[in-house]
């Protein structure tokens, strides 16, 4: 099946199979930061922004992206750089495998919530799992990033 997806502001023509998930479709055309992990919608590694909302691409059919704006890490360079600086300054950087999905979720949260508490942040990030660091450094970094203009 032929579809058109708007990814980071650019219309892309894709050939997908019936039932193909967005994560696989995006990887096929070179968006390698849309990673695969649990494939059950439980870990947040595959998160993309679909019309600004964090969306698990491993459990979203590619066809559902038609007519919507899909944003990947590559489409959020300015905010990604700001957040990366805060993460490293707080010593909360990690192996990087879960970082794209985590980062996109944090960017969406910043756009949606003003002055979130630590509890608000924890709630918003519930679906993002990290296997290699403790969450306290990440929480400090996210709280600090929320204050960055």
Question: What whole-number distance in Å separates Cα of residue 104 and Cα of residue 37?
Answer: 16
pTM above 0.85, yes or no: yes
- Spell out the domains of the chain, with CATH numbers in brackets: 2-72 (3.10.20.30), 75-146 (1.10.150.120)
pLDDT at 8 over 70: yes
Question: What whole-number distance in Å separates Cα of residue 131 and Cα of residue 74?
Answer: 23
Cα three-residue angle 110-98-20, rounded to 5 degrees: 95
pLDDT at 132 over 80: no
3-11 long-range CB contacts below 8 Å, 24 or more apart?
Answer: 3/62, 3/63, 3/65, 3/66, 4/66, 5/62, 5/65, 5/66, 5/70, 6/68, 6/69, 6/70, 7/31, 7/70, 7/71, 7/72, 7/75, 8/70, 8/71, 8/72, 8/74, 8/75, 9/69, 9/75
pLDDT at 133 over 70: no
pLDDT at 148 over 90: no
pLDDT on residue 109: 97
Phi and psi torsions of 27, nearest 5° = -65, -40
User: How confident is the model over 52-100, as pLDDT tens digits?
Assistant: 999 999 999 999 999 999 999 999 999 999 999 999 999 887 788 889 9
Instruction: Name the pLDDT band for 33 (thresholds 50, 70, 90).
Output: very high
């Amino acid at each position: 099946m032929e579809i058109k997806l708007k990814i980071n502001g650019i219309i892309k023509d894709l050939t997908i199979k019936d039932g193909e998930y967005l994560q696989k479709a995006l990887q096929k055309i070179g968006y390698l930061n849309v990673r695969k992990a649990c494939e059950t919608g439980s870990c947040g590694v595959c998160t993309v922004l679909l019309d600004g909302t964090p969306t698990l691409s491993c459990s979203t059919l590619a066809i559902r992206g038609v007519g919507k704006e899909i944003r990947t890490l590559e489409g959020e360079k300015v905010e990604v750089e700001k957040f990366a600086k805060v993460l490293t300054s707080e010593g909360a950087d990690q192996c990087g495998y879960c970082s794209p999905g985590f980062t996109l979720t944090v960017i969406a949260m910043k756009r949606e919530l003003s002055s979130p508490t630590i509890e608000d942040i924890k709630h918003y990030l519930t679906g993002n799992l990290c296997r290699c660091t403790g969450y306290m450094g990440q929480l400090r970094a996210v709280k600090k990033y929320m204050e960055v203009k």
